[in-house]
Amino acid sequence: MRIKKSIRDNAMGYSIKNMEMAGDTASEEVAVELTQRDPTLRQLTCFKEVAEHLSFKSAADALSMSQPALSIAIRDLEISVGTVLFHRSAHHVRLSAAGEAIRPKVEWLVNSHRVGMADLRRLLKYKVEALRVGCMPAVAHLVAPWAAQWHKDHPLVLLEWSDMHANGIGAALASGEIDIGIGLNPAPDESLESHLVIEDDIVAVLPAGHRFAPLKSLPWSELKGESLVILATQGSQQMATHVLEQQGVAVARIQFVEHVASLAAMLDSGLGIGLMPRLHAGGLHRADLSVHALRSPTLSQHIYLMRRRASSQHQALIRSCWDFLREKSLPAFATDFASSRAGL
C-alpha cells in the first residue's frame, strides 16, 4: 500500500495540492476511510472560526488553541470532505467556493450543538425546556404581551427573549441561535418559513408649529428645500434617499441618526423634518410631535414572523408558539397597526 500526498506548509496553514493513492485493495479502503469519515465537532468549530476571522492566528486565539493544532484540524476536515475549503497565501486566507457553500450549514451545526447542550443541561437540572425568540426592538411592544400570554399556558418553558437587528434575524434562525424571529426577511430563503405580519411605512415626523403640521399626509415632493433627519434603521435610509433621488427632490441637507431620542432632540432644535419607519415613531411618546404619512410613493418594509423549516429537538414546542402568534396574536396587532395608520 502506498499513500502519496503533496502538502505545502506555510505560516497561515497549508494547502492540499493533490492526493494520489495506489496499491492493492487495502489502499482503496484507506482512501474511502479518509474521505468518508464524518467531520468532528472540533473540526467544524475550527472551520467556523477561521471562516469568521479569515486568519488562522486570530481563529486560534479565539479558540484558545495553538495555530499548528488549528491547521491540523482544518487539514483533517478538508481530507474528510474531500475538497479544499480555504485558499491560503503568505498573508491572506479566503474561503474557497466549497467553503462558502458549506459555511451556513457548519454554523448551524455548531450553534445547534451549543444550544442543544445548554438545553440538555437545563432539562436535566431544572426539568424545563427553552424557547428562544429574537425580535426587532420596534415591534417588541406588540409581540411581547402575546408571547407572555403563550408562556402562561407553558409555565415549564424557559422563554428567552433577544433584541436583534431586523436584518440579522433570518441569519440567527438559519444558524440555530433562535427558534422564532420577528423582523425583516429581505432575501428569499428556502430554509425559513415566514408569515407576513405588517407593512411598516416610512413617515414624516414634524415639530409643533411646522407649516406642514395641519396636513394629514404629504407627498415626497413637498420635502424640496427642507432639511431632513433620517433614522438610520435597516433599509429605511436607503429607501428614503433613493426615492428622493428618483423623484428629483433636492433637499437642503440630510442627517442620519441611530436613536429615536436623537431624532426628537434635533426636531426640538428646529434642525429639520424627521423621517422614520412608523413602528419606530411609536416610541416617540411626544404630544408635541406629529406623525404624517408620506405618499406618492408610499414606501414600506415587510415585517415577518419566521422560523426554521428543519426539524428540531423541540419542534413541537416551536410549532405551538408559532401557531399561537400566527393565528391569534399577530392578526390582532396587525389590525391595531392598520387602525393607527388610518387614524393619521
Q: pLDDT class for 5, splitting at 50, 70, 90? A: very low
> Span 316-334, mean pLDDT?
82
Lowest mean pLDDT among 4-18, 128-142, 161-175: 4-18
Q: Which residue has the cell 492493492?
A: 24
Q: pLDDT class for 36, splitting at 50, 70, 90? A: low
Q: pLDDT class for 252, splitting at 50, 70, 90? A: very high
H/E stretch holding 171 reads helix 169-174
Residue 165 grid coordinates:
437587528
CA distance 43 to 62: 14
From the centroid of its chain, how far is CA 94?
Answer: 22
> Span 108-125, mean pLDDT?
75
Whether 291 and 203 have beta carbons less than 8 Å apart is answered as yes
Torsion, CA 210, CA 211, CA 215, CA 217, rounded to 10:
-70
Q: Name the pTM for this structure.
A: 0.62
Residue 65 grid coordinates:
488553541
297 upstream amide cis, omega within 30 of 0:
yes
